[in-house]
Structure 1
Amino acid sequence: MNRPPAAPMPDSIRHILRAKKDPARAVDCPHCGALPHRPCTTPSKRRILTDPHPQRRSNWAQTVACCPQCQVEPTTPCHEEGRARHTVHDRRYQEAEATAA
């Protein structure tokens, strides 16, 4: 049985499907207010973003992984010489991605 080729997927749907695969969507976004498992949006809420905001990725990594660099447990913010960081260390991102895989 021969089927005609499928129609191309619209970009509006492609963004949503691609965003669903990102594990950082498991936490809410402090930047745009997106709820868990919902995509990040622009400030006007008119456009869905393909990638989560950096602060959302940082919060997700902080929630699920220990930091090999500063030796803190999940949910504890990373620090540098006793001062809290606004984002997590790069190695903590790697650790979080390894646990998600």
Structure 2
Amino acid sequence: MTRYGQPAPMPDSIRQYMRGGKDPARAFPCPRCGVAAHRPCRIPSRGVPLAQVHEQRVNHRAQTVACCPTCQVPPTVPCHADGRALKDGAVHPARHTEAKGEAA
């Protein structure tokens, strides 16, 4: 392989670990500002990139990859309280813990 050729293929399962220091939520598109996966979140009105990811993006990742031990729902199903989905796509803190366990 030449020095400037295409890099060797890498499975998506380990690609995130090779992105040292990046939030795992960046592997998903941001529902708040609409940026693509693996791009930094931006302030929608000005387009300025942010150092952190939006909370909605973190919640989206947790909802996509982890079951919620609090309300007993499988991945991709929104968390609920008393039969109603949590406001603005929020998830229970226990689901965030489960999602971090998936990454480790």
TM-score (norm 1): 0.76
- Return 5+ residue gaps in structure 1 as ranges: 1-16
Counterpart check, 1:87 vs 2:73? no
Match of 1:5?
none
- Structure 2 length normalisation: TM-score? 0.74
Determine the structure 1 residue equivalent to 2:59.
58
Q: Higher Cα Rg: structure 1 or 2?
A: 1
The residue type equivalent to 1:95 in the other structure is E
Q: How many Å apart are 1:51 and its aligned residue?
A: 1.1
Deviation digits for residues 15-40 of structure 1, max 9, x if unmatched? xx87x610001111111111111110
Structure 1: which 4+ aligned runs deviate by more than 4 Å? none
User: Any unmatched runs of 5+ in structure 2?
Assistant: 1-18
| Corresponding residue for residue 99 of structure 1 | 102
Structure 2 match to 1:78: 79
Alignment length, in residue pairs?
A: 83
After superposition, the CA RMSD in angstroms is: 1.5
